[in-house]
Amino acid sequence: MGFNHHIVRTYCLNYHIPISKFAKQVGISKTHLFNYIDGRNNISEEVAEKIEKITNAELTATEILKLNQKKTRKNP
């Protein structure tokens, strides 16, 4: 998918919210959010739910969690 087409990135661009400010609202570092958007890290269910709340469900936790790319035991 890539950074420029990620739904969180698109949301921030559409609402003119800097990624660093959005990350702070979510309660994570901008590095963690960038790493998630770039597919280097998976996002937790807790953080996905915070994003859903902050965006008034414009971005749902379910759709965010589907974008997890990093392989784990649960996601081979």
Confidence of residue 1 (pLDDT cuts 50, 70, 90): very low
pLDDT digits (tens, 9 = 90+) for 11-60: 999 999 999 999 999 999 999 999 998 888 999 999 999 999 999 999 99
Q: Is the model's pLDDT at 4 over the cut of 60?
A: no
How many folded domains does the chain comprise?
1
Domain assignment present for residue 22? The answer is: yes
Distance in angstroms between the alpha carbons of the first and the last residue of the chain: 18
| 73/24 Cα distance (integer angstroms) | 29
The CATH number covering residue 26 comes to 1.10.260.40
Quote the domain boundaries for residue 57: 3-65
Domain assignment present for residue 8? The answer is: yes
Domain assignment present for residue 25? The answer is: yes
Q: Tell which wins on pLDDT, 64 or 39.
A: 64
Q: Tell which wins on pLDDT, 68 or 62.
A: 62
Quick one: which of 46, 43, 34 has its CA closest to 68?
43
Domain assignment present for residue 61? The answer is: yes
